[in-house]
Structure 1
Amino acid sequence: MRVVMFGYQTWGHRTLQALLDSEHEVVLVVTHPKSDHVYEKIWDDSVAELAEKHGVPVLLRNRPGDEELLQALREAAPDIIVANNWRTWLPPEIFDFPPHGTLNVHDALLPAYAGFSPLIWALINGEREVGVTAHRMDGDLDMGDIVLQRSVPVGPADTATDLFHKTVDLIGPIVREALEKIASGTAEWTKQDRSRASFFHKRSVEDSRIDWNWPAEDLERLVRAQCDPYPNAFTHHRGERIRIVSAGVSKARYGGTPGRIFIREDDGVVIVAGAEARSGRCRGLVIRRLRTEDGVEHAATDYFRTMGGYLTDRP
C-alpha cells in the first residue's frame, strides 16, 4: 500500500521506521515543527530527519488542512494514512481521504485514557496495565473502531520512563500487523464502548505540583509518573521549590496535618499526607531523594536536618 504518515516525536519516529521497514511505500510524511513545550522536548527523535534520510517528502505543520497540504495528499494518492502522536485535530477531508482511511496509533488501552499523556495519567491512577491501540480515526478524539490492541503490566516500581520503553516497543509490531490485516482484507474492527471512555488533557508544570491532601499511595505514584526526564513532582520548603526524585509509602501510620515534616523512617523522611491524616490512619510519604532549584540532588535525610515545619504547595 501507499502510505502517508502523520506523526511527531519518538512515537512518530518509531511508527515511520516500522513503515519504512515494511513492504509498504511511504510517499509523504507530515510532522510538527520543533516545539519549546517542556513535554515535547522529551522523547524528541525527529520524524523529519528520518524521512529526509530515506528520501521521503516532508511537510511541517502545526495544524493541517491548508491547500498546499491537501494538494500534496492528492498527488501522493495514499491507500491509507497512519498517524501517531499527531498533536492537533485532523479534519475529515484528511482522515477520510484515502480508501482505507486513517489508522491512528495511541499509547493507551482505549477507550480509557484517550487524549494526552496517557501513560503518566494511568500510572498516577494506579492502573495495573497500559498498552497501545491501533484504531480507525473518526471525528471524535481517539474513539474510532479498534483493529488491534496490546497491553503490558505495570510493575510496582515502574516509572513513566519504564512504561514509555515498554509501550514504545509495541509500536513497530502493531503497525506492521495492523497494516497486514488491512491490506489482506482480514481486519476485524471492534467498536469502542463509549460509556467506558475517559479523556485526559495535556500535562503542564502545574500538574506536577504536590497536594499533600492526596493519600501517600497516590503521591508515591505521582513521583514515579513525574520521574526524570519529565518535570519532577514538586513542593515548597521555606519558600524554595524542591523536586521529589525518589519516594515511598511509610511503613507506619502518622497523624497530624498534611505536609508536616515529621520523622525519619529508614532511609528517608516522612511527610504527613492525606485529607484524613488527622485520624492517624494514613500512611505518610517517605521522601528519599530531592533536587533543589540549583540542580543539586540531596538525600532527604541530609536536606531535612531537623524535623518540623511544613512542605507547602506554594512558596
Structure 2
Amino acid sequence: MSSIRTVFVGAVEGSLVALEALIAAGRAPVLVVTLPPESAHRHSDYVDLARPARKTGAAVHFTTNINAPETVEAIRAAAPDLTMVIGWSQICREPFRSVARLGTLGYHPSPLPRFRGRAVIPWTILAEETTSGSSVFWLDEGVDSGPIIVQRLFPVAHDETARSLYDKHKQALAEIAVDALDRIARGEAAGTAQDERLASYCAKRTEADGLIDWREPSEAILRLVRAVGDPYPGAFTFDAGDRIVVGSACALAPHGRHIGLTGQVQGHTERGFSVLCGDGITIEVTTWRGSPDGRRPKVHARLGPCRRPA
C-alpha cells in the first residue's frame, strides 16, 4: 500500500468517524487540525479529535481559522502529500489548498452536484428528498464544486430524522474516506467532473429557523421537527414565554376531531400533549425540553409565536 502523508482537518462527529476509519486502515494522518475545546460551542456535534490523534503519534494543531497564516504554516511544516477536510465549516482559501503536493480533499453530505452549500441534512428532509449521498471531492475555488473522487448514494426514508440521516452519512463516510485515499494511492486522482447543469445550492440555516409556525400544515410541522432535531438545536415554540424544544412528535387526530385555535394545546396524552395545526389536524408532542420542571403546557394554552399574523 502506497504511503501518503496526510493532514486531517475536522471537528465534528463525522470527522471522528473518518479519522478512526483512516487509523484502522493504516492511513493515520501526520497532523490533525481541529478546534480548541473552548470553541466547542461552534458546533452542536463537536467532538474532541486531539485524543485519538495523539494516540497514533499524530501532531495536533488547534485553530479557529483554517486560513490563518499560522495554521497554513503548521500544515506546510508537516510536508503533506494530501490534506483532507472533513467536518469544517469555513471556506478553504487558495493558500491553504495549495500547501499539499497533491491538493486538498473535501467531504460533503450530499449527492453532488446537488445540494451544495450549508445545512444539507436538514434541507434534504425539508425538501422531501428520497435519495441522498456522501461525496469526497477535490476542493477548488468554488462551493463544493470540484471533481468527485468517490460517492455513495442511499435512500432517505419517509420518516427520516436528522439523527438517522446523519448516521447514514457517517456510515458511508467511514467507507469512502479510506476508499478515496486508496484510489489516490493507486494513481486514480483525477476524479469525475461535476455536471454544473445539475447543481443546486442550500442556504445557510440558523437556530432561529427552527421556530414552529403552528399555522402550517401538520405534515410540514412534523417534517421540521424531524429535520432540525438532534444533532442540531431543534424545532421550538413558546408557552407563555418559556421556550420549548420539541424533540419528537407524530400525527394524532384527523381534521375536525378537535375544534380550536391553531397552536392551541388540545389535551394531555399518555406520552405528552396534543396541539392543533393549521390544517385542522392534531399532532402529539411526545418528547420535549425547556418547560419548567418538564411539565406539559396547560390544556387550551396557545403556543407561539406564529410567523404570520392572525
* Coarse TM-score class (shorter-chain normalised): 0.7 to 0.9
Letter of the 2:289 counterpart:
R
- Distance in 1 of aligned mates of 2:305 and 2:82: 48
Question: Structure 1, unaligned stretches of length 5 or more?
Answer: none
Which aligned segments of 4 or more residues in structure 1 are displaced greater than 6 angstroms?
Answer: 263-267
CA deviation after TM superposition for structure 1 residue 112, in Å:
2.8
Paired residue for 1:2, among 5, 9, 13? 5
The aligned residue for residue 109 of structure 1 is 111
Superposed CA RMSD: 2.9
Aligned equivalent of 2:137: 135
Q: Give the alignment partner of residue 187 of structure 2, picking from 185, 188, 191.
A: 185
1:14 aligns with 2:40: no
Measured in 1, the distance between the counterparts of 2:70 and 2:232 equals 36
Note closer, same or farther for the CA distance 1:40–1:269 as it changes in structure 2 (3 Å cut).
same
User: What residue identity is the alignment partner of 1:33?
Assistant: P
Pair 1:311 & 2:309 matched: no
One-letter amino acid matched to 2:285:
I
Once the two structures are superposed, residues 152-191 of structure 1 have per-residue CA deviations (whole angstroms, 9 ceiling, x without a partner) of: 3222333211222221121121011111111212356222
* Distance (Å, rounded) in 2 between the aligned partners of 1:58 and 1:38: 20
Matched letter for residue 272 of structure 1: C
Bigger drift between 71-80 and 6-15 goes to: 71-80
Per the TM alignment, residue 87 of structure 1 is displaced from its structure 2 partner at its CA by 2.1
- What is the letter of the counterpart of residue 6 of structure 1? V
Please tell me whether the aligned partners of residues 123 and 202 of structure 2 are also in contact (alpha carbons under 8 angstroms). no
The C-alpha deviation readout for 1:202-243, integer Å capped at 9, x for no partner, is: x43312211123321121011122334543311123333222
Name structure 2 gaps, 5 residues minimum: none
Evaluate the alpha carbon distance shift between residue 312 and residue 38 of structure 1 in structure 2; reply closer, same or farther with a 3 A threshold: farther
Q: Which amino acid aligns with 1:13?
A: L
From 46, 69, 72, give the equivalent of 1:70: 72
Compared CA separation, residues 237 and 65, structure 1 to 2 (3 A): closer
Q: For residues 117 and 39 of structure 1, what CA distance do their matches in structure 2 show?
A: 14
Aligned-partner SS, 2:30: strand
The answer for the alignment partner of 1:246 in structure 2 is: 248
Change beyond 3 A, Cα 1:236–1:116? same
| 2:66 counterpart letter in structure 1 | P
Native 8 Å contact 2:28 2:56 kept in 1: no
What is the TM-score with the length of structure 1 in the denominator? Answer: 0.83
Residue 114 of structure 2: SS of its match in structure 1? coil
Q: How does 1:77-96 map to 2 (within 5 A)?
A: 77-96=79-98
Question: Alpha carbons of 1:29 and 1:206: their partners in 2 closer, same or farther (altered >3 Å)?
Answer: same
Conservation of the 8 A alpha-carbon contact between 1:125 and 1:218:
no
What is the TM-score when the length of structure 2 is the normalising length? 0.84
Partner residue, 1:287: 285
Superposed CA offset, 1:32-73 (max 9, x none):
22355656143x331122212222111111113344333333
Question: Structure 1 residues 111 and 294, CA, compared in 2 at 3 Å: closer, same or farther?
Answer: farther
Q: Residue 29 of structure 2 aligns with which residue?
A: 26
Report % sequence identity: 29
Deviation at 1:134, TM superposition (A): 0.5
The amino acid of 1:294's aligned partner reads: P
Range 244-253 or range 177-186, more displaced: 244-253
For the residue of structure 2 that corresponds to 1:211, the secondary structure is coil
Q: Where do 1:178-257 residues align within 5 Å? A: 178-187=180-189, 189-195=191-197, 196-201=199-204, 203-228=205-230, 230-254=232-256
Q: Residues of 1 paired with 2:7 and 2:231: CA distance?
A: 31
- 1:134-166 Cα offsets, whole Å, 9 max, x none, are 011011221211121112322233321122222
Give the match for residue 271 of structure 1: 276
Where 1:244 maps in the other structure, the secondary structure is strand
Residue identity in the other structure for 2:110:
A
Letter in 1 for 2:283: L
In the alignment, is the contact (CA less than 8 A) between 1:223 and 1:244 conserved in 2? yes
- Give the direction of change, closer, same or farther, for the CA distance of 1:310–1:17 in structure 2 (3 Å limit): same
Taking a change above 3 Å as real, the CA distance of residues 127 and 256 of structure 1, as seen in their structure-2 partners, is farther
